[in-house]
Amino acid sequence: MAVSAPDASVTASPPGRGEGTTSLWWRFGIADLLLLVLVLGTMQRSQGSMLDDPGLGWHLRHLDAMWAEGGWLTRDPFSGPQGGQPWRTNQWLGDLLLTLGWWWGGLEGIAAVTTLVLAFTFRFLYRILLADRVPWPLALAWTLLAALGTSLSWVARPNVFNLPLVMLTAWMLDRYHRGGCSRRATWWLVPVFALWANTHGGFVAGLLIVATSWGVEWGSSLRGQRAAREAARQRFRHLACLFPACLAATLVNPYGWSLYPWIFQLLGNTYYMNLHTEWLSPDFHAEGAFRFELLMLAFPLLLAVARRRSISVMALVQSMIWLHFAWNGQRYIGLWVMISVPLMARLSVDALSLLARWAGRGWPFPSFAQPAASPLAAALIVLALLAWARGTDGYSYHNPRQIPTAALRYVVRHHAGQVVFHDYAWGGWLVWHGWPSIHSWIDDRNEVQGRPHIERYFRTMQARPGWQQSLNRSGTQVACLPIDSPLAERLGEAEGWQLRYRDDDAVVYERAAEDSVQAARPENTASPTKPAPAGENRKLSLLREAH
């Protein structure tokens, strides 16, 4: 990716800023040490939270379902009572990378892929800060702060790819605004958006960044000196071409323009979004909230002490917009961090310069060269991690309080082919390990399940009046429940249900044989939405044609 030589406004800096570029490709540099530390630290998250996302399972089975259908999916193949609802596999590229990790090394392989995405994201951030002439000790510190601030987003799902892609988009357009990036280089965003639209729906965030950058350039063209206004007009005209090009690139996906209403049916539904804590405002009382709260507090302080000419209007506007989103939804915190840290890192140089003048001392970071990042060292770290994932079993696991795998494995082994009622967060795991013999009663794909079915689930799980009829209408024969749930208590007292499994986290109840037959009779079973005709999922049959 070509980046032009930055102008004076970009490169003006105290002596000693940046890391040296000693061209010894075999030398182990600071960036490589950072990569190693991040790999070792991030992999520890695979012992619990990284792999506990409710949606991981159905992401990993998308390719199998597409293979079975002979093309891109347009109907949901995973659900039981709600089977056949509209569904889109627009995240297939992100799913593919995680699935390759699963095939390679099981849970450790999934964790390795997620870890490498995160580690290289922060390694790239470190290199970005060096390119912005931030001294390498400060760049290293800010990179580690960014890693901590985004830790809520360290989950094994395609969402993780949004972190590097949002950072790249925002930084490139900000650098273009500051004169440090050529017009030609920004065209690389077009193929990036084409890939992004097939990786995760977060490409909408990228389009918002391009659109607001366009607006900033329009505003810059209205004020300032004549030369600055003319330069802003040129950038505005360029972005007037770049934005529709990026928008058009996102249409290179299996569903074309229809992907947009599919994405916005979730983003525009407050009921669906309020079901998940990731869409709610952050809880600053929660354990670990200081990791992002520290950055939110640092942001206005650095703006207050920075020199005005050091503040990029583009970076400031983007940071403020995404700070608003971060205050309204935990899911956006990581994106705000990746957008804002480059600006805060540059502003921290001004803050340290000011402190140095107050103390009557010189610049605190003397100039000395560091070896540049080594491609050999990075390759060795990647190969070592993948080899470890291939040969290791049992290091990575699910938190049993979140995903009680012992009880769920019992269900898969002993109740294949039966209708299983289960916790909302366990549907993805059952799809992962049980489909096609077991279908989920419910899972976290709210736009598939629909509000009536979700409300029916909560009434049933809480054992409200009518819970028996709900289980009967769905033909439920087995219930796998959290051990402390109201429904588990009621089934333990109800006639016609027998305890089959129990541990510290979950219980499994099965209907007695005669009651199971009664529940499965057509008059007692709700009519599920008809599955799509065999040809409907084959209309978009790129995979079928390729094979």
Residue 356 predicted with pLDDT over 90 = no
In the prediction, which pLDDT does 514 show?
A: 55
Total-model pTM: 0.88
In the prediction, which pLDDT does 64 show?
A: 96
Residue 396 predicted with pLDDT over 70 = yes
pLDDT higher at 6 or 69:
69
- Is the peptide bond between 400 and the residue preceding it cis, with omega within 30 degrees of 0? no
**Structure token pair of residue 186:** 């920004």
Residue 9 predicted with pLDDT over 80 = no
Strands 420-422 and 478-482, by their bridges, are parallel
3-state SS class at 500:
strand
Q: Which pairs count as long-range contacts for 482-490, CB under 8 Å and 24+ apart, including other chains?
A: 482/404, 482/423, 482/506, 483/507, 485/423, 485/461, 486/461, 486/462, 487/460, 487/461, 487/462, 487/463, 489/463, 490/463
- Read off the pLDDT of residues 305-345 as tens digits, 9 standing for 90 and up: 887 777 899 999 999 999 999 999 999 999 999 999 999 99
| Residue partners of 434: CB distance under 8 A and separation at least 6 | 411, 412, 416
Q: Which amino acid does the sequence have at 542?
A: L
- Name the residue among 484, 515, 483 with its Cα closest to residue 497: 515
In this prediction, residue 350 has a pLDDT band, given cuts at 50, 70 and 90, of: confident
- Name the residue among 103, 38, 56, 52 with its Cα closest to residue 385: 38
Cα–Cα separations (whole angstroms), residue 404 to 398, 400, 497, 528 = 8, 4, 21, 28
- Name the residue among 118, 67, 123, 100 with its Cα closest to residue 546: 67
Phi-psi region of 488 (alpha: psi -120 to 50; beta: other; left: phi over 0): alpha
| Residue partners of 159: CB distance under 8 A and separation at least 6 | 153, 200, 202, 331
Q: Which residue has the tokens 């490589």?
A: 32
In the prediction, which pLDDT does 372 show?
A: 64
The mean per-residue pLDDT over the stretch 363-381 comes to: 73
In the prediction, which pLDDT does 517 show?
A: 44
- Read off the pLDDT of residues 103-141 as tens digits, 9 standing for 90 and up: 999 999 999 999 999 999 999 999 999 999 999 999 999
**Structure token pair of residue 99:** 């699935």
In the prediction, which pLDDT does 365 show?
A: 65
Residue 505 is given by DSSP the state S
C-alpha count within 13 angstroms, C-beta hemisphere, residue 201: 16
Residue 232 predicted with pLDDT over 90 = yes
The percent of residues above 70 in pLDDT, for the chain, comes to 86
User: What's the rounded Cα separation, in Å, for the pair 11 and 306?
Assistant: 16
In the prediction, which pLDDT does 18 show?
A: 45
- Read off the pLDDT of residues 263-301 as tens digits, 9 standing for 90 and up: 998 887 889 888 888 889 999 998 889 999 999 999 999
User: What's the rounded Cα separation, in Å, for the pair 150 and 163?
Assistant: 9
In the prediction, which pLDDT does 19 show?
A: 44
The mean per-residue pLDDT over the stretch 225-249 comes to: 95
The mean per-residue pLDDT over the stretch 519-529 comes to: 41
Residue 529 predicted with pLDDT over 60 = no
Domain locations along the chain: 18-384, 405-526
Largest pairwise CA distance in the chain: 88
pLDDT higher at 508 or 541:
508
Residue 17 predicted with pLDDT over 70 = no
C-alpha count within 13 angstroms, C-beta hemisphere, residue 546: 9
- Read off the pLDDT of residues 422-452 as tens digits, 9 standing for 90 and up: 999 999 999 999 999 999 999 999 999 999 9
| Residue partners of 86: CB distance under 8 A and separation at least 6 | 74, 75, 76, 262, 448
The mean per-residue pLDDT over the stretch 184-206 comes to: 97
Q: H or E stretch including 142?
A: helix 136-149
Average pLDDT of the residues of the chain: 87
**DSSP assignment string, 394-444:** SSSB--TTT--HHHHHHHHHH-TTS-EEE-GGGHHHHHHHHTTTS-BS--S
